[in-house]
Structure 1
Amino acid sequence: MTVDDLTHGAHAPATKDVRPAPGVSLRTRGGARSRRRVSGWVVLVVVGAAALLMIFPFWIAVINGFKPSAEYIQDGPMSLPSRLDLSTLVTFWRGVDFNGKLLNSVIISGSVALIAALLSLLSAFAIGIGRIKGRVWILAVFMVAFTIPQEALVYPLFVLTRDLGLYDTLPGVIIILAVLQSAFGTYMLSSVLGAFPREVLEAARIDGASRRQILGRIVFPLTRPTLSVLVTFFFIWTWNDFFLPLILLPSAANQTVSVSLGALSGQYTSDPTALAAASLAGFLPALVFFLVFQRTLMRGVNLGAVK
């Protein structure tokens, strides 16, 4: 044994093999893998069952909307139609002037979605980036605003629209729904703009950019995915809104799709195929809109999750 061996042995750290036994490690890993596999199958089964429960009403409306009345009476609602019968759908479409109802819903929903998104952006810009005083209390007011039920607001809104000459008009409903929807949009965008990089804003101010230029050239392009999500949500929410259009649009010429379907449900109780055709005509436009903007919606949601 040399001196170097003694020196290295004196200074070498004492090591100890603490690795678990190979059998125990394999059993542990195998058990964890099997538990993950079982939990994955459970989640898949639950999600599949929930999807079937949600799709089932649409499936019933589709197969009965194109089914003759005699075949419905003979075979029941669960049977597939032997042939596609469009007569019930065409009769309903022409009988209630569904083109006019569809146009009203598109005008109201599209206008509310765009105006509410614009109001949300302007308000959130002032609160999140402008850092106005009392921003916490203002956000609390917005949070309370979009949680108030519509039933508590219907009488003041009725009196307001009547006194302003906006009762039973599309602009009156558009203004009211846009303001109500913008409360949620302001609350959501304020948290996004509150975390906006201050260095970018300071660099823009040093370069001489005004607040309008900062909003239009910096903030708006970066928040466009979030705004697209808000526009999609606002459109679908407004399309499905029933209570306020029912109260503020009493005339048949200004009715929306949801109101017309609610008014006709009693009329077509004795004809289930006509009621199924009316339901089919009601939810198909919203479904088409969602499918068209699905990629934009998912891109905005994923971008928000990454941020």
Structure 2
Amino acid sequence: MRGPGRWAVLAALTVLAVVMMFPFVIVAINAVKSPAEYSSAGPLSLPDGLYVQGIIDFWQRVDFGQKLWNSLLISGSVAVLAVVLSVLNAYALGIGRVRGRLSILVLFLVANTLPQEALAYPLYYLAKEFGLYDTKLSMIIIFTVIQAAFGTYLLSAVLGQFPKEILEAAAIDGAGRFRSLIRVVVPISRPTLSVLLIFFFIWTWNEFFLPLIFLISNDNQTVPVALGILQGERYMDATMSSASALLGIVPAVAFFLIFQRTLTRGITVGAVK
């Protein structure tokens, strides 16, 4: 695309980016602004200097380091385990062509459409029965299954188009099914798996409803739960609220930026070369 059309698209994308970034910029500005500055000049004014006491106070008040570790542990574990489970399921469904494949895929599709509100009570009852209530392990298991349902459905369609010639060549070389999966399918599908890993991490990091129900102890709460509870109790002024929001989104944004190239390459290249 050349000429005026190209510049029009570029201008529209620039405006869209500014509109999307504006709330984050306002949050960042107010996070380093003193309460007196906020009261006198309002939320849109620039700070006279860097006031970090609000960030320090919030960090100490909620023990943010512990909440950060809980979110990292749960999100990282879920991302890795869900990708592994998705690959194993999709390999059996997409390449192995197990009996009842279509019915199983429909079941995974239905599982993806269920709202978390419908799952809350059954999962709560099971967690109580197995002694997993108010543990990080319960969240890892639950979200691994939830994310793997989507991953299985997606990868089954991708691996269903996997070139059979490559697998036949691996079989001629003496590779069994498991070795073909590890040495052939996974390396070729790495871009797609990387995309799933990134999305599973971010989706799990942002989860609020189920962790709010299952993680009631202060030592087990995740970042979104800690932010929601503290905001609801109105223990913070406007600048500390901005500081909490900033600290809540920075880790996820940093993770996304670190793996941005991997994400772009995965979407562009696709699963099968």
Q: Shorter-normalised TM-score: what interval?
A: over 0.9
Structure with more contact order per residue of length (Cα contacts < 8 Å, sep ≥ 6): 2
- Is it true that 1:112 corresponds to 2:78 in the alignment? yes
Q: After superposition, where does 1:73-152 map in structure 2 within 5 Å?
A: 73-152=39-118
Q: After superposition, where does 1:140-179 map in structure 2 within 5 Å?
A: 140-179=106-145
For structure 2, list consecutive stretches of 5 or more residues without a partner in the other structure: none
Q: Displaced runs of 4+ in structure 1, greater than 3 A?
A: 36-42, 267-270
Scaled by the length of structure 2, the TM-score of the pair is: 0.96
- Is it true that 1:72 corresponds to 2:38 in the alignment? yes
Question: What is the CA distance between 1:270 and its match in structure 2?
Answer: 6.0
Mapped to 2, the partners of 1:240 and 1:290 lie a distance apart of 13
Other-structure match for 2:175 = 209
- Is it true that 1:200 corresponds to 2:169 in the alignment? no
Q: After superposition, where does 1:58-69 map in structure 2 within 5 Å?
A: 58-69=24-35
Question: What is the CA distance between 1:305 and its match in structure 2?
Answer: 8.3
Compare CA radii of gyration and give the structure with the larger one: 1
Mapped to 2, the partners of 1:194 and 1:214 lie a distance apart of 15
For 2:269, the aligned partner's letter is L
Question: What is the CA distance between 1:173 and its match in structure 2?
Answer: 0.7
Quick check: 131-140 or 230-239, which moved more?
131-140
For 1:243, the aligned partner's letter is F
Question: What is the CA distance between 1:38 and its match in structure 2?
Answer: 4.1
1:268 and 1:274 in contact (8 A); partners too? no
Mapped to 1, the partners of 2:182 and 2:271 lie a distance apart of 24
Aligned residues between the structures: 273
Mapped to 1, the partners of 2:185 and 2:270 lie a distance apart of 15
Q: Deviations over 1:88-122 (max 9, x none)?
A: 10010011100000000000000000000000000
1:242 and 1:258 in contact (8 A); partners too? yes
Q: Secondary structure at the match of 2:45?
A: coil
For 1:262, the aligned partner's letter is G
Mapped to 1, the partners of 2:265 and 2:111 lie a distance apart of 28
Mapped to 1, the partners of 2:164 and 2:109 lie a distance apart of 25
Other-structure match for 1:190 = 156
* Aligned-residue CA RMSD (Å): 1.6
Mapped to 2, the partners of 1:152 and 1:258 lie a distance apart of 21
